[in-house]
Structure 1
Amino acid sequence: MDLDTVRTFVAAADAGQFQEAAAELAITQQAVSKRVAALERDLGVRLFTRTPRGAVLTIDGQAFLPHARELLRVAERAAGSVRTGSRPLRVDVITSRSAQSGLMRAFHQAHPEIELGVVMLHDIDAAVAALRSGTIDATFRAVDAPGRPLPEDLAAVRVLDEPLELLTGPAHALASARSVPLARLARHRIWMPGLAPGTEWAAYYDDLVAAFGLTIEATGPNFGSDVLLDTIADTPALATFMGGHSRLVWPAGHGLRRIPVTDPVPVYPHSLLWHRDNPHPALATLRDHLAAAANHGAAGTWVPAWAAADQSRTST
């Protein structure tokens, strides 16, 4: 059923005259007559009785009118659900306690008028697929990790270099240090279960290990952050890396220490990714907000060569 004919029928029913309906719809009276006639043929009934004073609904027309109004309301709701700017801006932050989540909380505080939909997609392939299908509008990732070139239809800009910190238990040999040079960590075991080969995080830590002779153990099942924290707290020989902007919480009795790593400071490069053809108006606002607060490329920091070589790839 053609919605234009339904819309014309409703306008004629409300006006009581085809001429007034034509003026309201900015079409000719002849076009109104043709649309109403087409609708009557589709339905197999007469909807109006023509009189010298105008058009009067028949019994069938009266029965159809409320359904016609509902058809138009449903069509408007359907269009509104995908109309640019009418739905929330959907952004992938990977995890709720991550640096990316902190960036989005700051954006929400600065722009409370923008409705947000926050999702968490751990896998980069799933995030890229969601960007390309329009399921999400943006995601935070590391760009151009080896073997993972950014597709040409996506754009990215580097927004944050997050410094790594060493997390130790109270009995660890470095627990009392105020900071620790990166090279000194070559003599210590760093445990990071769940560091799966082929991920962007694994690519980053592979380069870190190669550059500074570190030992990172990814052995054992990944039972999540709670078990990781329990193990680090109870095992003097183990430490782990965590992002300096990550917001992990542990029991006070754990006595865990967050120790800055220096000389150089290893930083994880976070970029915002989006589809070049995404029309959501709030996406530009998000990019401008992050650009104004961008923090990357500082002296005395280290990133893999693939991150240093491509600090931004934005759309034109």
Structure 2
Amino acid sequence: MDTEAVRSFVRAAELGQLQQAADELGVTQQAVSKRIAALERELEVRLFTRTARGVELTLDGQALLPHARSIVTGVERAVAAVRPGSRALRIDVLGLRTAQAVILHDYWRSHPGTELEVVTLKVDDPRMAVAAVGAGEIDASFRTVTDPAALPRELRMIHAFDSPLELLVGPRHPLASARTLTPPQLRGHRIWVPGIAPGSEWAEFYDQLSAEFDLRVDAAGPNFGNEVLLDTLADSADVATLVAARDRYLWPTNYDLRRIPIVNPTLVYPLSLILRRANPHPGLRAVIDHFASLAPLAGPTWRPSWVTD
């Protein structure tokens, strides 16, 4: 099996774009396509389907991905064993527009010589991210295991930073003119958060948030992505959503969407970092120190029950 074909498959699966995978690998898109096609012929399965936005894994592709990652990791370890130096620090940020990606980018901008590889594992189950850290596929992951007893002994979870939430609404929403909002003011309004995966940490977060403040958090319907969510908010007079203050969202100027801070208390999504106890990547310490240097939130806050520090 051609390991470069396997590597091309893994990056295309993680990025969802053949051109982006080619750019990262330093080859042409045609080369990536040929490698993946050769791999499909060898395995006698189809690994991707093409969409308007890029490529998506087939069921066979989904089954192959964790094994392919292990192959790539094994090759990298073999090379590192005989080559001076070490590979780049590899951190899973869940999504490239998330608050954790934004702050990690801020760190990299202030430390431009840092060898850093940003990964977006497309898994909702935190146990899969934990397994990737344990296997050495990644050095750390911005995930939370809400029951610390379920975390393997060889791993640890540390608090990275707190991410305050904001209400995002369109111009016709009844709360659109507010400068700030309190949680009780959100009651009775539909807060649409598509993509709340059962068993995920964010599913538990929204369950606790809804129960604590009697909020109507609605995850009904398929998740068509942020673009459709923003389209819906711009056209709606009664739908809102919650976003993290540092999350990056881009929309056309005519949408006139408003991000409104929530205060008294500030609703906080706590972000944790999972890493190995023994022999963590040497670049992690400086990243963790950067998170610790962030200014604490002012005023009263609300956090879910699993936060103990």
Q: Letter of the 1:114 partner, please give it.
A: T
Give the structure 2 partner of residue 301 of structure 1. 301
* Mapped pair 1:255 → 2:256: yes
Q: Distance in 1 between matches of 2:240 and 2:102?
A: 25
Measured after TM superposition, the shift of residue 285 of structure 1 is 2.4
SS at structure 2 position matched to 1:141 = coil
Q: Deviations over 1:205-236 (max 9, x none)?
A: 10000000001111010000000000111111
| Corresponding residue of 2:54 | none
The equivalences for 1:41-190 within 5 A come to 78-80=78-80, 86-123=86-123, 124-142=126-144, 144-145=145-146, 149-190=150-191
| Contact 2:160-2:273 within 8 A present in 1 as well | yes
- Determine the C-alpha separation between the residues in 1 that align with 2:180 and 2:149: 34
Tell me, which stretches of 5 or more residues in structure 2 are unaligned? 1-76
Identity in percent: 48
1:236 aligns with 2:209: no
1:278 alignment partner AA? N
Contact 2:91 2:139 in 1 (8 A): yes
Distance 2:250 2:102 in 1: 15
Q: 1:148 to 1:226 in 2, by over 3 A?
A: farther
Contact conserved, 1:146 with 1:203, CA < 8 A, in 2?
no
Moved over 4 A (4+): 81-85
Answer whether contact 2:133 2:276 (CA < 8 A) is retained: yes
Mapped to 1, the partners of 2:147 and 2:212 lie a distance apart of 16
Structure 2 residue aligned with 1:280: 281
Report the AA paired with residue 278 of structure 2: D
> How far apart in 1 are the matches of 2:138 and 2:79?
18
TM value normalised by structure 2: 0.70
Q: Is the 8 A contact 1:85 1:281 kept in 2?
A: no
Cα gap change, 1:279/1:268 in structure 2, threshold over 3 Å: closer, same or farther? Answer: closer
| Cα offsets for 1:237-280 (capped at 9, x unmatched) | 11010111101000111111111111211010011210112342
CA distance in 1, matches of 2:183, 2:221: 25
Q: Distance in 2 between matches of 1:86 and 1:148?
A: 32
Is 91-100 or 107-116 further displaced after alignment?
Answer: 107-116
Tell me if the contact between 2:171 and 2:234 (Cα under 8 Å) persists in the aligned partners: yes
Aligned-residue CA RMSD (Å) = 2.1
Q: Matched residues in 1 for 2:212 and 2:280: separation?
A: 41
| 1:216 aligned residue | 217
CA contact (8 A) 1:84 1:280 kept: no
How far does residue 82 in structure 1 lie from its aligned partner after superposition?
Answer: 7.5
Give the whole-Å Cα distance in 1 for the aligned partners of 2:149 and 2:187: 28
Question: 1:293: Cα distance to partner?
Answer: 3.0
Separation in structure 1 between the aligned mates of residue 276 and residue 138 of structure 2, nearest angstrom? 9
CA pair 100-226 structure 1, distance change in 2 beyond 3 A = same
Kindly provide the CA deviation profile for residues 74-110 of structure 1, in whole angstroms up to 9, marking residues without a partner as x. Answer: xxx9443677951110011111111110121122123
Residue-pair matches, total? 231
Show the 5 A alignment for 1:15-34: none
Rg (Cα) greater in structure = 1
Q: Give the Cα separation in 2 of the matches to 1:91 and 1:100.
A: 10
CA distance in 2: counterparts of 1:136 and 1:278, whole angstroms: 13
Which residue type is aligned with residue 192 of structure 1? V
1:162–1:268 Cα contact (<8 Å) kept: yes
Aligned residue identity for 1:202: A
